Amino acid sequence: MSDNTPQRIGDYEIIRELGHGGMGKVYQVRNVLSDRIEAMKVVLPDLASRTDFSGRFMREIKVLASLDHPNIAALRTAFTADDQLVMIMEYVDGVTLADRLERGPFSTAEALNYINQVLAALSYAHSKHVIHRDIKPGNMMLTPQGVVKLMDFGLARSGNEIGLTITGTTVGSLDFMSPEQVKSEPTDERSDLYSVGVSLYQMVTAQRMFRATTGYSIMEAHVKETPRPPIEIQPTLPKSVSDLIMMSVAKDPTQRFQTADAFRNAVVQIRAALPQQAGETTATVMRPQSRPVPPSSTSQPSVSPPAENVRPTPSDAIAPPAPAKAGRGALLAVAAVLLVAVLAAGWMYKSRQHPEATTGNMTNAPTQGPPTNPPASAASTPVPQPPPPGAVPPNAINAPAAPAQETAPHTASKRSATNASPSLKPGGAAPDSQAQDQAAAALAQKKLLDELEKETDQLDSRAAAAEGSLNTLEQQMHASGYGLRGDMVAARANMRNDLAKAKQAMDSADTDRARRYLDLAHREVEKLEAFLGHR
């Protein structure tokens, strides 16, 4: 844990930080009363007073409190502590599907299995009139038992809520947003199903559905561009799965699956048909390594059947014979290894039979003359006495010069001067020491303020550039009928507010407060720059 991590909040002991974002931090914690391991989500102290963030956090608490499903991370409780909003959730041990995706695409069977579980969770949530609105692999946690838990309902909306989305803004993650989310139109359950389709697209291809690099171009692609069919990227993908994905990401909501149950039924049917489609499923990265296959005499690569459905036979345990071309070299290598082994064994046997041959000469050899430095125990070693003045100590000719002895008079004189200075004035400290300390502190404070002021000027320039580009983009998007993302609107407002507070703190020479608000402003500027493609 970092030095800034609290040791305990309420009845919960902090174990480690699991992650953090723009709203707050998530910790792994232990309830000191029950010893149960939980996950704790805490809103950042500086954001707790902002109505938009605290309102979103409170909505997440209420939405999760209404849900109880094995594929949804459960809410345990919520409370306030030291003016902070705290949410205690089920701790899910595992990795997100986004982390798992970094190792390569999923097999078809794996991907359909995990998406089936996500759709089961969405079917339940939708029946409670809860729309998630931020479906993506990063919000799907996979346990070691293969169970998928849907997480992060921070953007979820209940059917009876109004005013959650700011007028003319959009919410969600860019790569997974539905066209109606991009255009700030009313959304329903089919928007979540679009995001599920995009997630499945990434899982089976290990590629983003659109290759655009800026926020605006990604949003425009969701509205206008037809994605490349996933079977063109992953030729081993069954056509039925490719068609399923293309239907789920249709631009028009009426052309998609209308319910999570309908989507799920299609997934189940395709999964049931997979064993009859030999060679169409790709092998999972998680499977054990199969035995090596000798190279074929032809130059064309062959496609091996999937490893998941192959039951090993006793003959599979027999290694294939080595190629004939390598026979002579292999025999020579084996002979060399055997020769080295025989020589090593002989040497070990001889050393065990005649230990005196190796150690006796050293331990039993007679000493020639008196030893120069005879060994002695710590108890019997006499303490050397300093030689009398003017005498030459023994072995002085061979002893290296000791710098410490040469500088001892100087050190002693310095030490005497140092020890003498406090006694110049009765009472302890020298007369000018306090003034010197105050002058040094003032100089350090001035230097820190100068550095903060320089950093503020640089951040001001970046903020102005980001805001100018964002304003231009917002005008273009409004002209095209799109709305600017809600989190970008909030980031712009927070950036202005944090910079203003940082400048106020510097005017009052409060460097700690200035540092805190500059760090917050940095985060908001970086969000905007990433969205605009400035970095």
How is 255-313 classified by DSSP, letter by letter? GS-SSHHHHHHHHHHHHHHGGGSTT-SPPPTTSPPPPP-PPPSSSS--PPPPSTTPPP-
CB atoms within 10 A of CB 22: 15
User: Does the global pTM surpass 0.75?
Assistant: no
pLDDT at 16: 93
How high is the pLDDT of residue 341? 67
Please determine, for residue 276, whether its predicted confidence score (pLDDT) is greater than 70: no
Q: For residue 425, give the DSSP letter.
A: S
In terms of pLDDT, which residue wins out, 18 or 377? 18
Report pLDDT digits (tens) over 51-74: 666 777 788 888 888 999 999 999
pLDDT averaged over every residue in the chain: 74
Superfamily of domain 8-90: Phosphorylase Kinase; domain 1 (3.30.200.20)
* More confident site: 430 or 280: 430
Percentage of the chain modeled with pLDDT above 90: 33
Q: Is 243 a catalytic residue?
A: no
Task: Please state which of the ranges 350-354, 382-386, 408-412, 496-500 shows the lowest mean pLDDT.
Answer: 408-412
CA-nearest of 517, 514, 513, 511 to 441 is 511
- For 188, which DSSP code? -
Average pLDDT over residues 400-421: 44
Q: Give the mean model confidence (pLDDT) for residues 442-454.
A: 85
pLDDT beyond 60 at 3: no
Please, which pLDDT band fits residue 333 given cuts at 50, 70 and 90? low
**95-276 is classed in which CATH architecture?**
Orthogonal Bundle (1.10)
- 168 vs 204 pLDDT, higher one: 204
| Whether residue 229 has pLDDT greater than 90 | yes
Average pLDDT over residues 80-106: 91
Residue 256 has pLDDT above 80, yes or no: yes
pLDDT digits (tens, 9 = 90+) for 461-517: 788 878 877 777 776 666 666 666 667 777 888 888 888 888 888 888 888 888 988
> Exactly one of 134, 192, 487, 498 is catalytic; which is it?
134
* pLDDT tens digit sequence for 96-148: 999 999 999 999 999 999 999 999 999 999 999 999 989 999 999 999 999 99
pLDDT of res. 73: 92
Residue 146 Rama label (left phi>0; alpha psi -120 to 50; beta): left
Whole-angstrom distance, CA of residue 38 vs CA of residue 62: 19
More confident residue, 394 or 11: 11
Query: How many other CB atoms are found less than 10 A from the CB of residue 140?
Result: 27
**Domain locations in the chain as residue ranges:** 8-90, 95-276, 435-532
- Between the two ends of the chain, the Cα-to-Cα distance in Å is 30
Contact in structure between 528 and 470 (CB atoms under 8 Å): yes
Domain 435-532 fold = Four Helix Bundle (Hemerythrin (Met), subunit A) (1.20.120)
The model's confidence at residue 242, banded by pLDDT at 50, 70 and 90, is: very high
State whether the Cα torsion 369-373-378-382 is positive or negative: positive
Q: Look up tokens 């679009």; give the residue.
A: 194
pLDDT tens digits, 281-302: 333 333 333 333 333 433 333 3
DSSP for 451-487 reads HHHHHHHHHHHHHHHHHHHHHHHHHHHHHTT--EEHH
Q: Is 258 exposed, middle or buried (0-12, 13-18, 19+ CB in 10 A)?
A: middle
pLDDT at residue 357 is higher than 60: no
Torsion sign, CA atoms 303, 304, 307, 310: positive
One-letter amino acid at 528 equals L
